[in-house]
Amino acid sequence: MSQNNMSESLNIEIVYALPHEQTLLRMQVPVGCTVTAAIQMSGILNKYPAIDLAVNKLGIFGKLVKPDTILREQDRIEIYRPLLADPKEIRRQRTQAGKVIKKGGGEISV
């Protein structure tokens, strides 16, 4: 690939994981491409119709980003699934139920 072609496109990855299935797509996108545009170009929305870009959070290498973030060379877009349960709510329910919670090797009765 010539230097001129390299400056016109970026090599990126898009990842999405379910409990028993992970997808990693490698692709080239034009310079100036946004996270949303790359996801749409990738075809991953057809493979996983449950992905809703208005709901799912997006990240690049574990850092949350906005959908209109401009991509850079070697970026890895991560599409996050919504949590099934809020961890704070689960802890609150356990506390109200008077369950024993293990912390740091010891048990604390609440």
> What pTM does this model have?
0.71
- The closest alpha carbon to 12, from 78, 67, 57, 65, belongs to 78
Residue ranges covered by each domain of the chain: 3-79
Give pLDDT, residue 97. Answer: 75
Q: Which mean pLDDT values do the consecutive 10-residue runs of the chain (110 residues) have?
A: 62 95 97 97 96 95 97 97 74 72 55
H and E: helices and strands count for the chain: 4, 7
Give pLDDT, residue 90. Answer: 74
Give CATH superfamily name and number for 3-79.
Answer: RnfH-like (3.10.20.280)
Question: Distance between CA atoms of 108 and 110, rounded to whole angstroms?
Answer: 6
- The closest alpha carbon to 24, from 71, 82, 83, 76, belongs to 76
